[in-house]
Amino acid sequence: MTTLPAKRPVGAIAFTALVLVAAMISFSRYRGAMDYYEQGILFACAAGLIWFGRFWPAMQRFLPLCGAIALAAIELYDRNLARGGSNFFLKYLLTSQSLVMWMCVLFFLATLMYWIGLLRRSASSLSIASGLTWAAATASLSSSLVRWYEGYLIGPDVGHIPVSNLYEVFVLFCLITALMYLYYEARFAARSMGAFVLLVISAAVGFILWYSFDRGAHEIQPLIPALQSWWMKIHVPANFVGYGAFAIAAMLGLAQLLVSRGILASRLPSYDTLGEVSYKAIAIGFLFFTIATILGAMWAADAWGGYWSWDPKETWALIVWLNYAAWLHVRLVKGWRGNVLAWWSVIGLLVTTFAFLGVNMFLSGLHSYGGL
């Protein structure tokens, strides 16, 4: 997937047909369990997926593949969670936890290959690294889908979308950051950026492993009443588009700073390209972060009695927002470019990380679901 594949109408038509058929099957089988809102959401999702497939044709293969893996796992489970430990394919490949482990391994390998490719100027290594990242992203999305199903196998009242605690959102973070990166990589035909972006994903993967092995965080917990809301389904993913984008921007900022000092300058994309991708990432991240914060406010109005309570998490979200608003202003209005902005986006990631993790660890408040 070096460049965006040229528009292939056959693929697009097949994908559209597949999504529509899947939506129709879901509708006919489960319409009884859905109210009008949910039926509307189902078709809106189908339309959204079709649009997304057109916007980024690589998704026309990626999404059906992940769906197929998830369906295979569901088929093998045969409504019995215990089969996860006995069935060979499930145990080593298709349970959500094996998929997460595969994801971790693949991301580490991809990081390694990106660095080999970068240091040895090897296009083939970079190409393999890109493929590994795609595979890791596939494992990541599939694991979330399978985990979603596994929750319902534990208990019909336990199952929920896997975005409810720190472990689940870290997997989501890896997925979103990887996908956004892959999009920019293809768009700007600049694979060596991966060496930097994959570092931040690897850090997240390291956290996932520690969190799972040491703290047993991978267990599916039922939702506490405050989280039982459909706002969660959109608020959390929207936030992570923001976090992922800010992370990419910061890592590219780091690359920019190195290039400006002549380090790796001949191996990385040009200084300006790094700056432009960085800007694009922050722009999309800012848009989604704004949406996520607004959705959060609407949820808070349902759950906490007010759309804004100056809760530490809310306040830090505001600080992050103000930070990137200022960043965008000086770039777009003042026309700033260069190292100051690069430093700023690196520091911005520190602020964002504090808002994401630090608040849960050090400050108390209403938003204590993601505690360590």
Partner 1 sequence: MTTKKSPRHHPAPFGRALFELFSSMRFAISLLTVLSIASVIGTVLKQNEPYVNYRFEFGDFWFRIFEPLGLFDVYHTSWFLLLLAFLMLSTSLCIWRHVPGMLRDIRGWREKAGRSSLRLMAHHAEADGEANREHVLAHLTQSGFRFRIREHDRVWQVAAKRGAWQKLGYLFAHAAIVVICIGGLLDGNLPLKLMELAGYKAPETRDMPQGQVPEISRLSASNLSFRGNVTVPEGAAADVVFLNAGKGYFVQELPFAIRLKAFHVDYYTTGQPKRFASDIDILDRQSGKIRQSGTVEVNKPMVVDGVAIYQASFGDGGSPLSFARWDLGNGSAAPLDARSQASSALTIAGQPYTLETGDLRVFNIENLGKTESQQSAVTVNKFEQALSQAASVKGEHNLRNLGPSVQFKLRDATGQAVEYLNYLAPQPLDDHLYLVTGMRREVAQPFTFIRMPLDTEGKVDTFMRVHHALLDPQQYPAIAKATADAAFRDGAFSATNRAQFAEVTRSVLTQFGSGGFPALERFLDGKVPAEQRQTVAQTYLKILQGAAVEAFAQAQRQAGLAPLPMDETNYRFLMDSLVATSNLFDYGPAVYLQPTGFTQVQASGFQLTRSPGKTVVYLGSVLLVMGIFCMFYIREERLWVRLEAGRTLIAMTSNRRNADLDHAFAAHRAALLPESAPGAMPKPKPAATPDGEPT
Check: CB of residue 117 under 8 Å from CB of residue 130: no
- 104 or 250: whose CB is closer to partner 1? 104
Q: How far is the CB of 275 from partner 1 (least distance, A)?
A: 10
- 22 or 105: whose CB is closer to partner 1? 105
How many other C-beta atoms can be found within 10 angstroms of the C-beta atom of residue 134? 20
Check: CB of residue 195 under 8 Å from CB of residue 118: yes
What is the secondary structure of 141-155 as a DSSP string?
A: HHHHHHHHHHHHHH-
How many other C-beta atoms can be found within 10 angstroms of the C-beta atom of residue 231? 17
Q: How far is the CB of 228 from partner 1 (least distance, A)?
A: 6
Q: In one letter, which amino acid is 180?
A: M
- 117 or 348: whose CB is closer to partner 1? 348
- 1 or 158: whose CB is closer to partner 1? 158
- 29 or 214: whose CB is closer to partner 1? 214
**Residue 334: which residues within 8 A CB-CB, separation 6 or more?**
none
Name the token pair of 324: 């990137």
- 48 or 124: whose CB is closer to partner 1? 48
Q: How far is the CB of 113 from partner 1 (least distance, A)?
A: 25
Q: How far is the CB of 212 from partner 1 (least distance, A)?
A: 5
Whole-angstrom Cα distance, residue 12 to residue 59?
10
Q: How far is the CB of 206 from partner 1 (least distance, A)?
A: 15
Residues of this chain that bind partner 1 (CB under 8 A): 81, 84-85, 91, 95-98, 101, 147, 150-151, 154-155, 157-158, 212-214, 216, 218-222, 224-226, 228-229, 276, 283-284, 286-287, 290-291, 294, 297-298, 301-308, 310, 312, 315-316, 318-319, 322-323, 325-326, 329-330, 332-335, 337-338, 359, 363-365
Whole-angstrom Cα distance, residue 305 to residue 118?
52
- 129 or 208: whose CB is closer to partner 1? 208
Q: Three-state secondary structure along 94-133?
A: HCHHHHHHHHHHHHHHHHHHHHHHHHHCCHHHHHHHHHHH
Q: How far is the CB of 262 from partner 1 (least distance, A)?
A: 18
Q: How far is the CB of 21 from partner 1 (least distance, A)?
A: 30
Whole-angstrom Cα distance, residue 204 to residue 171?
8
Q: How far is the CB of 313 from partner 1 (least distance, A)?
A: 9
- 38 or 302: whose CB is closer to partner 1? 302
Task: Supply the Cα-derived Rg of the chain in whole angstroms.
Answer: 21
Whole-angstrom Cα distance, residue 309 to residue 36?
32
Check: CB of residue 172 under 8 Å from CB of residue 240: yes
